Amino acid sequence: MDSCIFCKIANGEIPSNTIYEDDKFRVILDNGPATKGHALVIPKEHYANLFEMPQDLLADAAVVAKKVATNIKEKLSCDGLNLVQNNGETAGQTVMHFHLHIIPRYENDGQHILWNPTSPSAEELVEVKNTIVGA
């Protein structure tokens, strides 16, 4: 896609701090990192979001994320990490090209990737379940 910045980065048209690359993905350090080592797994082909990604490529993205996350954990000695993938503006997606965040976490890093738990009743949960599975 000619106007997509992540297409240009993934295909080497725009310089990046690449920490991994293969024929399907480029993994770069995020220019606005949440923490030291925050990286993005970006497919070289354009897919706007999770729903457009072919299932096999999505599986490949998970394999790449594990490989890179393992290396980050070993080299940067982080205490844990988050994998975050947003779909749509409401969910926090700012670049409409599928990407998977690998966010190393450090004790007292000040970051919060959390939500406020709600308290649905047992009946509400069953209703939602039935809506999803079609019961």
Enumerate the active-site residues: 99
Q: What is the DSSP string of 5-20?
A: HHHHHHTTSS---EEE
Buried-exposed string 17-55: b where 16+ CB fall within 10 A, e elsewhere: eebbbeeebbbbebeeebbebbbbbbbbbbbbbbeebee
Q: What φ, ψ does residue 77 adopt, rounded to 5°?
A: 55, 45
